[in-house]
Chain A
């Protein structure tokens, strides 16, 4: 058993130069076969492995990661955690996740620094305020916290917002979810990895899947850069690279990968308390524990896997943030990076069976995957363990696009670049 993390064990370490800590996860050689293979060592893949072992007792599991765990979107998002979606299938799914977030550090014995400091959508006109009230009412009717704020209440939480009436986008009010907030993204990947490894899951890095082993219409394993590995069930869980990996199995998904840019400023003393977003503008701002303002906006709306953004797209997001929070003007952007987002054709994820036996899908997270990590892991584990979707991910089937039961939160239809 690994040495549990605790303040006491840290003090003990102060005396022995922290020599007693074991590696957080092993570095095993891949075995010939497993009950379940999960392709993708990001947040969702590692969470799925953890819940397979913990909830379903299935421990003969391998997580195959092509480079280093936590290197994909879980390592490069803007750390927002919330469940304030308008449509019930989405807000019920993310709310289930939010409840898991509230206890995740203790569950994993790894402090993921989940900080429920509130996430608010600003409204800039009557139309926005009606939409925010509608979203809030839909949430409250399904037992999820949501509260409308007046400009005065907003000023107490975020005094640096431009609340003047002659602002280009005046702030008429906001909808806040107090139980939402942020978390330390790397810690989520590492926490799930350490806990899954402790339950016997093999986490295999530097192991890229290059093809599938097929027997008729059944997937029986994968070809990798470290040899062939067989499996009873194989779960794709590679977010931005879903199109590519599913393509190796001959599947064409309703997904196009786009670049999502984010940035962080140099660290400053506390100036932003909660997470600030907007109903009609496209930016989101929060402040990390090291004092950097973390922000992002719309994705670059054309397909790319390059993890390299177009600068004026980022500049447009910054213009919106500086307009709404002028105090940002003289801070400096320290670093900007990009992730590859798997944009689904209605904006909702795809978690469930694929048309090929033994192969399962978890993809289509657009730019909202981080907040879904626990819920995605839990429901995907259920699907992989039982062969049937959990009630929470049943609506997010691949078939919905052909039946027409799409779940379109942004209500703009199939093309991610029209969003």
Chain B
């Protein structure tokens, strides 16, 4: 059960969050088809760090990118993504 430091809410339990996908598998709906299918259907799936999009679904509902290690589960960095927000 990770503790994920939400950029807006601070440290929270993992059950409030949802994993969406890796940042390199984001499909641009307006992009060309072959790039889109490469993004959708190929993964590095490394035994190490990867950048992943998560959402604080049961918390502030905001989205963020976690740089997370897939063996040690250490979370090296969290970066908020989404519209510009008041502090």
The verdict on B73 contacting chain A, using a C-beta distance below 8 Å, is: yes
Asked whether A402 lies within 8 Å of B47 as measured between CB atoms, the reply is no
Whether B45 lies near A401 (C-beta < 8 A) is no
Q: Choose one: B22, B45, B71; the contact of A247 (CB below 8 Å).
A: B45
Residues of A within 8 A of B52 (CB): 302-303
List A contacts of B14 (CB < 8 A).
310
Contact of B37 with A401 in the complex, beta carbons under 8 Å: yes
**Is B79 on the interface with A (CB-CB < 8 A)?**
no
* Given A243-B44, A255-B43; A312-B37 close (CB under 8 Å): no
In Å, the complex CA distance between A402 and B46 comes to 22
| 18 extra interface residue pairs, beta carbon distance < 8 Å, beyond A256-B45, A310-B1 | A243-B44, A243-B46, A252-B45, A255-B45, A257-B70, A302-B52, A303-B19, A303-B22, A303-B45, A303-B70, A305-B47, A305-B70, A306-B70, A306-B72, A312-B15, A414-B41, A415-B21, A417-B19
B30 to chain A, nearest CB (A): 19
The residue from A242, A253, A311 contacting B42, defined by CB atoms under 8 A apart: A253
Give me 18 A-to-B residue pairs in the complex whose CB atoms sit less than 8 angstroms apart, sorted by A's number. Answer: A247-B46, A252-B44, A253-B42, A254-B43, A256-B43, A257-B45, A257-B70, A302-B19, A302-B52, A303-B19, A303-B22, A304-B71, A308-B73, A312-B1, A312-B15, A414-B41, A415-B21, A417-B19
Residues in B whose Cβ lies below 8 Å from that of A247 = 44-46
**Contact of A390 with B by CB under 8 A:** no
Chain A hits for B71, CB < 8 A? 304-306
A247 vs B71: C-alpha distance when bound (angstroms): 16
Give the contacting residue for B73; candidates A304, A414, A417; CB below 8 A.
Answer: A304
Cα distance A66–B22 in the bound complex, in angstroms: 28
User: Which residues of the partner chain B approach A305 to less than 8 Å between Cβ atoms?
Assistant: 47, 70-71
Confirm or deny: B9 has a beta carbon within 8 angstroms of a beta carbon on chain A. no
A79 CA to B41 CA in the complex, in Å?
A: 30
Q: Is A301 an interface residue (CB 8 A)?
A: yes
Chain A hits for B15, CB < 8 A? 312
Query: How many Å lie between the Cα of A91 and that of B36 in the bound state?
Result: 31
Q: Which residue of A lies closest to B14 (CB)?
A: A310
Bound state CA distance, A302 and B17, in angstroms? 11
Q: Which residues of A contact B (CB under 8 A)?
A: 241-244, 247, 252-257, 301-306, 308, 310-312, 345, 401-402, 414-415, 417
Closest approach, in angstroms, between the C-beta of B57 and any C-beta of chain A? Answer: 12
Nearest 5 interchain pairs by C-beta: A243-B45, A302-B19, A252-B42, A401-B41, A254-B41
Q: How far is the CB of A113 from chain B (nearest CB, A)?
A: 34
Contacts of B77 in A (CB 8 A): none
A252 touches B19 (CB 8 A): no
Question: What residues on B are CB-neighbors of A255 within 8 Å?
Answer: 43, 45
Contact at B70–A304, with CB atoms within 8 Å?
yes
Asked whether A252 lies within 8 Å of B43 as measured between CB atoms, the reply is yes
Q: Are A253 and B43 within 8 A (Cβ)?
A: yes
A311 touches B43 (CB 8 A): no
The chain B residue with its CB closest to the CB of A404 is B37
Residue B60 interfacial (CB < 8 Å):
no
- A402 and B44: CB pair below 8 A? no
Q: Which residue of B lies closest to A257 (CB)?
A: B45
| Alpha-carbon separation in the docked complex, A297 to B52 (Å) | 24
User: What separation, in Å, do the CA atoms of A255 and B73 have in the docked complex?
Assistant: 19
- Residues of B close to A308: CB separation below 8 A: 73
In the complex, which residues of chain A have a beta carbon less than 8 angstroms from the beta carbon of B20? 417
Q: Does B40 contact A (CB under 8 A)?
A: yes
* Complex alpha-carbon distance, A241 and B47, angstroms: 8
Cα of A243 to Cα of B25 in the assembled complex, Å: 15
Would you call B42 and A254 a contact (CB within 8 A)? Answer: yes
Which residues of chain A have C-beta atoms less than 8 A from B2's C-beta? 310
Q: Closest CB-CB distance, A318 to chain B, in whole Å?
A: 15
Q: Cα distance A244–B43 when bound, in Å?
A: 10
Contact B46 A311 (CB under 8 A): no
Q: Which residues of B contact A304 (CB under 8 A)?
A: 70-71, 73
Query: Could you tell me if A311 and B1 are in contact, using CB atoms closer than 8 angstroms?
Result: yes
In the bound complex, CA of A375 to CA of B25 (Å): 32
Which of the residues A244, A254, A310 comes within 8 Å of B47, measured between beta carbons? A244
CB distance from B31 to the nearest CB of A (A): 16
Give the nearest-CB partner of A258 in chain B.
B19
Chain B residues in 8 Å Cβ range of A402: 37, 41
